[in-house]
Amino acid sequence: MAQQVRAVIAKAKGEPVSIETIEVPDPGPGEALVAVQACGVCHTDLHYREGAINDEFPFLLGHEAAGVVEAVGDDVTGVAPGDFVILNWRAVCGNCRACLRGRPWYCFATHNATQKMTLDGQELSPALGIGAFAEKTLVAAGQATKVNPEAQPEVAGLIGCGVMAGLGAAMNTGGVGRGDSVAVFGCGGVGDAAIEGSRLAGAHTIIAVDIDDTKLEWAREFGATHTINSTREDPVERIRELTGGHGVDVAIEAIGLPQTYEQAFYARDLAGVVVLVGVPNPEMRIELPMIEIFGRGGVLKSSWYGDCLPSRDFPMLIDLYLQGRLNLERFVSETISLEGVEEAFHAMERGEVLRSVVVV
């Protein structure tokens, strides 16, 4: 029997979100019904409600979540009722060209639930195919990744989006290794996770760049060895000074702006790596001398979801957290209720938080 639950809905572009009672179907083949315990407020939820992703209102927001599986469809074997899971927005298909080539983190046909959740009979668009600012949500079973239940839900859920994107931008996409020098542009949740990932991977020098001194202080807590406020100093010059005149091995852009991408491009050493994990808007353009792209060598990469493989990375990262080797608690600036999501968007815009986390 379909269930009625409370959820946070964005009904129209730019309008404040509201709490509504939605209908969630029983899981069908390949699906899982998850009782959400916690869900972080990510910048992408705000992008949805501003109409910056697409026009498919009404949106059921929330996508950075942990919870407990309540029921599964007949054929589901990967998860079972009672499992503690983190939801992921790239459930790999196993059959597309990327998957068959052995690169499932690029999967071009990721899975979402087949049935729709509804509001007054109208189909909802769940953010990133999840929709977890809700007491319960319906996902594809592959979107629910089982992890050690000893982890607190409000901390575990963060692995489901921003923290994974940042950790993976450093560890997977950037390939940061022991002794490397790294610069991270933008020290929000994603950038700080890239700093933490660089530290975990054994980087020697980790330079944080932001325009906000408070963010730079927080960046030090995650492992930045040096900080640069780019409103006061030229970050490219300063990064060169800090790296013996060379530039960094890996430069990570975690904002999504042309000017900071350019800074990252020039701040790396010859044959270094640039990683773009910040999401630009469709109007943005960059102009670079082509000879510099050639002459500097190295690699220019983009990082979708930190090139993660949820089945491989989520349980491992939760284990590192439980062993005290990954500082996840520091990302949680505040815990709120479903009613607090609209205010959390404003706190995010004012730069006051790394993550507000809804506890359901």
Ligand X SMILES: NC(=O)c1ccc[n+]([C@@H]2O[C@H](COP(=O)([O-])OP(=O)(O)OC[C@H]3O[C@@H](n4cnc5c(N)ncnc54)[C@H](O)[C@@H]3O)[C@@H](O)[C@H]2O)c1
**Which stretches of the chain bind Zn ion, using CB under 5 A?**
42, 44, 93, 96, 99, 107, 109, 161
> Omega before 58 cis (within 30°)?
yes
Among ligand X, Zn ion, none, what binds residue 209 when CB lies within 5 to 8 Å by partner kind?
Answer: ligand X
Three-class secondary structure of residue 331 per DSSP: helix
- Which 134-193 residues touch ligand X, going by CB under 6 A? 161-162, 165, 185-191
Mask for 17-46, x = binds ligand X (CB under 6 A): --------------------------xx--
Q: 163 vs 318, which CB is nearer to Zn ion? A: 163
| 58 near ligand X (CB under 6 A) | no
Q: Is 258 exposed, middle or buried (0-12, 13-18, 19+ CB in 10 A)?
A: middle
Q: What whole-number distance in Å separates Cα of residue 236 and Cα of residue 177?
A: 22
- Site stretch for ligand X (CB under 6 A), options 30-38, 118-126, 152-160, 204-212: 204-212
Q: 24 vs 46, which CB is nearer to Zn ion? A: 46
Among ligand X, Zn ion, none, what binds residue 89 when CB lies within 5 to 8 Å by partner kind?
Answer: none
Q: How far is the CB of 89 from Zn ion (least distance, A)?
A: 8
- Strands 3-10, 125-126: pairing is unpaired
Q: 191 vs 223, which CB is nearer to ligand X? A: 191
Retrieve residue 200's tokens: 């975990």
The answer to whether residues 338 and 7 touch, using CB atoms and an 8 Å cutoff, is yes
Q: How far is the CB of 210 from ligand X (least distance, A)?
A: 4
Retrieve residue 160's tokens: 């489901």
Retrieve residue 268's tokens: 């790396």
Buried b (16+ CB within 10 A) or exposed e, 197-206: bbbbbebebb
Which residues, including other chains, have CB under 8 Å from residue 120's CB and lie 6 or more apart? Answer: none
Mask for 244-283, x = binds ligand X (CB under 6 A): ----------xxxx--x----------------xxx----
Q: How far is the CB of 90 from Zn ion (least distance, A)?
A: 9
Q: How far is the CB of 190 from Zn ion (least distance, A)?
A: 9
Among ligand X, Zn ion, none, what binds residue 210 when CB lies within 5 to 8 Å by partner kind?
Answer: ligand X
Q: What whole-number distance in Å separates Cα of residue 305 and Cα of residue 191?
A: 13
| 209 near ligand X (CB under 6 A) | yes
Q: 44 vs 125, which CB is nearer to Zn ion? A: 44
The answer to whether residues 205 and 183 touch, using CB atoms and an 8 Å cutoff, is no
Q: How far is the CB of 94 from Zn ion (least distance, A)?
A: 6
Q: How far is the CB of 278 from ligand X (least distance, A)?
A: 4
Nearest 5°: the CA angle 104, 254, 193 is 75
Q: How far is the CB of 29 from ligand X (least distance, A)?
A: 29
Q: What is the DSSP string of 119-167?
A: ETTEEPEEGGGT--SBSEEEEEGGGEEE--TTS-HHHHGGGGTHHHHHH
**Measured at CB, which residue is nearest to ligand X?**
188
The answer to whether residues 251 and 185 touch, using CB atoms and an 8 Å cutoff, is yes
Q: How far is the CB of 189 from ligand X (least distance, A)?
A: 4
Retrieve residue 289's tokens: 């001398």
| 62 near ligand X (CB under 6 A) | no
Task: Kindly list the residues in this chain that would bind ligand X in the complex (CB under 6 A).
Answer: 43-44, 161-162, 165, 185-191, 209-212, 215, 230, 254-257, 260, 277-279, 303-305, 351
